[in-house]
Amino acid sequence: MANYSFEDFPPGRRFDFAKRTLTADEIIAFAREFDPQPMHMDEEAGRASILGGLAASGWHTSAIMMRMLFDAYLDGSTSEGSPGVDSMEWKRPVLAGDTLGGHCEVLEARISRSRPELGIVRMRAELTNQRGEIVAVCDYINMLRLAGKDADHAHG
Amino acid sequence: MANYSFEDFPPGRRFDFAKRTLTADEIIAFAREFDPQPMHMDEEAGRASILGGLAASGWHTSAIMMRMLFDAYLDGSTSEGSPGVDSMEWKRPVLAGDTLGGHCEVLEARISRSRPELGIVRMRAELTNQRGEIVAVCDYINMLRLAGKDADHAHG
């Protein structure tokens, strides 16, 4: 754990993701719970779809990206979560057996006007597959406390 | 199952979500796999955060919304998935014990220029809690085949 706080996120700083191979079982388990469309549940249905094979739900790809963000910089940090995502593009299918990696980068960082103990960091994450193709891009916001500051519950 | 195809999505059409109560165990299970930040894993850490209690990961809220979309209109439909999301706002914390509901609505529908067998539908989903507060809003794209059309693999 790096125990990052807001001050550790200047624009341009980049964090690389550890690589991870996605199995058919993982794809189907996520889909069964959250997105049981045929192309996420069954190899043959995936091949008959425009995705071309058993493909992860886009929301599964996003959840995996989230885990990569956690492992890359959030673990032990002063993160207070996120108010949302400006855009989430699922650019190519993520198929069973694909190995995902990538990185995220700080686009902009400023201190909150209404909560001076909190910094607002805009970031972009890019996920790539084993052929170096970009499969997903996400512009998102991360709130992180300044070093040594507690959350202000008066606003919470 | 309604077996909807592109033609069933005129602008303004609305689909209501079935209500669902989220347990602490579900929140922690999702977080353990995809987003193990303390406020998603532990009641006390959640109370010490700006979220004010054990709170679902935003990506968990999004995955639950996805399941609500499946149950509301995607099951049995000609859906070919989604190229992405224009915006995903997590407007309020979703806490253990909250009951979520909501609806989605068609914003715009057109036939793809490059894939005439496919329609592109822009939709907005809103999730509300048991107090009627909006907790999440998502503008997203759904691709659905026209009635009686197979996916065109030449482009897939």
Q: B82 — contact with chain A (CB < 8 Å)?
A: yes
Q: B67 — contact with chain A (CB < 8 Å)?
A: yes
Note the pLDDT tens digit of each residue in A112-149.
999 999 999 999 999 999 999 999 999 999 999 999 88
Q: Give pLDDT, residue B151.
A: 75
Q: Average pLDDT in the B78-104 region? A: 97
Interface of B with A in 14-33 (CB under 8 A): 30, 33
Q: Chain B interface, mutation test: which of A61, A74, A85, A87, most B Cβ atoms within 10 Å?
A: A85
In angstroms, the Cα distances linking B153 to A47, A81, A91, B25 are 9, 40, 17, 42
Chain A residue with CA closest to B75: the answer is A37
Instruction: Report if pTM > 0.90.
Output: yes
Give contacts of B66 with chain A, Cβ < 8 Å.
Answer: 34-35, 57, 59
Q: Give pLDDT, residue B117.
A: 95
Q: Give pLDDT, residue B156.
A: 39
Question: Which pairs with CB-CB distance under 8 Å and at least 24 residues apart come from B43-49?
Answer: B43/B96, B46/B95, B48/A150, B48/A151, B49/A80, B49/A81, B49/A151, B49/A156
Answer whether B62 sits within 8 Å of A57, measured CB to CB. no
Q: Give pLDDT, residue A155.
A: 46
Check pLDDT > 70 for residue B152. no
Count of beta carbons in the 10 Å neighbourhood of residue B130: 12
Q: Give pLDDT, residue A152.
A: 62
Q: Average pLDDT in the A77-87 region? A: 95
Give contacts of B52 with chain A, Cβ < 8 Å.
Answer: 153, 156
Please give the mean pLDDT across all residues of chain A: 95
